Amino acid sequence: MRIAVVGVGYVGLVTGTCFADMGNNVWCVDVDGQKISALKKNLIPIFEPELENMVARNQEQGRLVFTTSIKEALDQCEICFIAVGTPMGEDGSADLQYVLGAAEEIGREMSHYICVVDKSTVPVGTAARVRTRIQRELDNRHCDLRFDVVSNPEFLKEGTAVGDCMKPDRIVIGADNENVINALRELFKPFVMGTENFLVMDIASAEMTKYAANAMLATKISFMNEMANICERVGADINKVRLGIGSDHRIGYQFIYPGCGYGGSCFPKDIKALILSSGEHGYGARLLRAVNDVNAGQKHVIAQKVKARFGEDLSGLKFGVWGLSFKPDTDDMREAASITIINDLTSAGALIVAYDPKAMREAREHYLKSNKNVAYAEGKYDAIKDADAMILITEWKEFRSPDFYEMQSRMKKHIIFDGRNQYDARQMDKYGFEYYQIGAGSVKR
């Protein structure tokens, strides 16, 4: 099939590339000329395992085209995915200016029937607004071209997005036109071959499904962090509690790890947007508000532990930080716990030396750019040289089994604050470390 993808951000780039890898001809469109020029040279603006090689391969084989011209893409295609960003507005709502702007461009430039597919995460009712914008532009042109608007929310996880796209848990389609449903069924058939994971529903339900999925996962994380905070106060061990509840097949082990709060481009934004949308329809969404509040508080827990150990004034103290991205296998620092933790510590006078395998450029150029008390190291052991403590924030694989003897030789004081409960307290005791974790007993010296 011939497909256009408008928006070459995280979702659009992965989706378009995966469509091409399945043999489709894909035109990816973006208004950012520098980004398009870089992509034509196989320079990827994000870190995502496998993606760079896939982009290069499909460009070389002529199935993947990058362009700034939406007209060029639409002239070739009958299916157009809108995959632009929906950043959080000042009031917490999803900012739809880019989605609606893309709809207007489609209406201005389309020259034949187009099936427009909303791939971006959008509130219920957005498909209708997209339809209105396209029709308005067609009316201005005095054109009577037909088009359909459907919903196909994405469920990609950063760090495993290529695998999620190529072998999805499910494909959700919100549509009311049988011909469109059959066309999308054909498009997605190679991705769900041998399964029954092609789910068709009304448009509003499809739009809501993405928000509901993210709200459920965020709720599990905040619930587990709430339990961890209770465990710490009553003398229980959240690591053992996790095993006790996870063995119940109704609960399972996924998303029940305690930590220092969720971040990223989806959960924080989508929870706040859903709260706001609920309020606009007269519902208070008390549970979602609690999920959001617990998460906001959880991002301060590690800094609170550091201050409880060293005092409120951290002047003259140096801390090595392992991990900056909001999760492993990505360079994304949007809403990352590291930002809150580092700013809390430096506000109290601390000096931070940070290391992350992929996210240090993001930190330097954007999220921690103005923080003069942050330096960066070339490796994890360099970050803890002469450190008063090591703080683990992101659970990258290379942090799971470090050389603790090497750490001892580098650090001024043998103290670890573990924001992801990666290490075993007995092991820390064996190596002579003072050890603090989330929701469980500490090893003190």
> How do the pLDDT tens digits run along the chain, 445 residues long?
999 999 999 999 999 999 999 999 999 999 999 999 999 999 999 999 999 999 999 999 999 999 999 999 999 999 999 999 998 888 888 899 999 999 999 999 999 999 999 999 999 999 999 999 999 999 999 999 999 999 999 999 999 999 999 999 999 999 999 999 999 999 999 999 877 799 999 999 999 999 999 999 999 999 999 999 999 999 999 999 999 999 999 999 999 999 999 999 899 999 999 999 999 999 999 999 999 999 999 999 999 999 999 999 999 999 999 999 999 999 999 999 999 999 999 999 999 999 999 999 999 999 999 999 999 999 999 999 999 999 999 999 999 999 999 999 999 999 999 999 999 999 999 999 999 999 998 888 6
d(CA 360, CA 17): 26
Three-state SS at 201 = strand
Listed residue (346, 57, 22) closest to 167, CA to CA: 22
d(CA 211, CA 208): 5
By CB neighbour count within 10 A (0-12 exposed, 13-18 middle, 19+ buried), where does 429 fall? middle
What is residue 124's DSSP assignment?
A: T
Which residues are within 8 A (CB) of 281 and not within 5 positions of it... i.e. 6 or more apart?
none
- What pTM did the predictor assign? 0.93
351-355 β-sheet, strand order: 374-376, 351-355, 318-322, 389-392, 415-418, 434-436
CB 332 within 8 A of CB 265: yes
- Alpha-carbon distance values, 120 to 106, 329, 436 (Å): 16, 22, 40
d(CA 140, CA 144): 11
Catalytic sites, residue numbers: 266
CA R_g for the chain: 24
CB 206 within 8 A of CB 151: yes
